[in-house]
């Protein structure tokens, strides 16, 4: 037995809040009967429909992929380009948790657990994402502090970040910077560097919360353990 809004969110249909809205507005039926009361409990044998279409509840799957360059983070592409889902063998309706750019590599979660996906993506839950950016030129302390305190991208200031210069290569005149953020705005890291006059040449997401891709080759993936899934949920409740 689980609460109706949780069952809907868990199915990946929408967030729990959106599910509550759909229930309150009378768009959800259980065994053919409209249910508007939030918190109504349903069994796995019950038939849940939203806008008269039945909700398919799949077994949950959680995958950590080391995304290669040159692949789009999407479930399908109009131009028929390769997507991250082409790298994964599954019969489940998985979708990526957030987005990595076409040329960004590294940690990407894919799941059909809509509730966890929404929790991980919500900025209020402050899930850490650690990136390594290779940028043009030498970045000094002053600029690192600017990034850490927040810079304006698209007229909105970014939240505080952790920033560390890992290496400066004199020969190629490039810096390697570790930057930890918990927001997930579009092209955020590239735009943050751009805002202070640096160009990102390469970008890798090393870690999402406690999950890193050190043991995965480019294009490889693995299933999360139950313990890791529980820990991820716990991270969103901190």
Active-site amino acid positions: 101
DSSP-derived 3-state class of residue 237 = coil
Distance CA 45, CA 99 (A): 35
202: its two tokens: 């390469």
Residue the block writes with tokens 């059909």: 112
Q: Is 213 in the site for ligand URA (CB under 6 A)?
A: no
State the nearest-atom distance from the C-beta of 189 to ligand URA, in Å.
3
β-pairing verdict for 53-54 and 33-34: unpaired
The burial class, CB within 10 Å (0-12 / 13-18 / 19+), for 79 is exposed
Distances in whole angstroms, Cα of residue 133 to Cα of each of 119, 159, 205, 206: 26, 18, 9, 10
| 190 makes contact with ligand URA (CB under 6 A) | yes
Distance of CA 106 to the CA centre of its chain: 12
CB of 214 to ligand URA, least distance (A): 19
Smallest separation (angstroms) from ligand URA to the CB of 129 = 7
Residues 46-105 that bind ligand URA (CB under 6 A): 100-101, 104
Pick from 110, 189, 213, 232: which binds ligand URA (CB under 6 A)?
A: 189
Q: Per rule CB under 6 A, is residue 107 in the interface with ligand URA?
A: no
Tell me: does residue 161 bind ligand URA (CB under 6 A): no
- Exactly one of 203, 208, 224, 232 binds ligand URA (CB under 6 A); that residue is 203
Number of residues that bind ligand URA (CB under 6 A): 8
The residues binding ligand URA (CB under 6 A) are 100-101, 104, 187-190, 203
């Amino acid at each position: 037995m689980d609460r109706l809004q949780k069952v809907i969110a868990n199915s990946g249909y929408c967030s729990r809040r959106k599910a509550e809205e759909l229930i309150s507005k009378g768009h959800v039926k259980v065994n053919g009967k409209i249910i508007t009361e939030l918190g109504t409990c349903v069994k796995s044998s019950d038939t849940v429909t939203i806008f008269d279409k039945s909700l398919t509840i799949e077994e949950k799957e959680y995958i950590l992929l080391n995304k290669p360059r040159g692949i789009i983070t999407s479930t399908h592409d109009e131009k028929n380009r390769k997507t991250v889902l082409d790298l994964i063998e599954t019969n489940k309706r998985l979708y990526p948790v957030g987005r990595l750019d076409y040329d960004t590599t590294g940690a990407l979660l894919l799941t059909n657990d809509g509730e966890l996906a929404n929790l991980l993506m919500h900025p209020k839950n402050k899930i850490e994402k650690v990136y390594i950016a290779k940028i043009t030129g030498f970045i000094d302390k002053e600029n690192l502090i600017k990034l850490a305190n927040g810079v304006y991208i698209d007229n909105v200031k970014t939240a505080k970040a952790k920033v560390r210069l890992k290496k400066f290569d004199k020969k190629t005149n490039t810096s390697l910077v570790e930057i930890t953020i918990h927001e997930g705005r579009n092209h955020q890291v590239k735009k943050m560097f751009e805002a202070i006059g640096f160009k990102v040449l390469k970008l890798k997401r090393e870690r999402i919360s406690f999950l890193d891709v050190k043991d995965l080759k480019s294009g490889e993936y693995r299933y999360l353990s139950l313990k890791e899934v529980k820990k991820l949920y716990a991270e969103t409740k901190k």
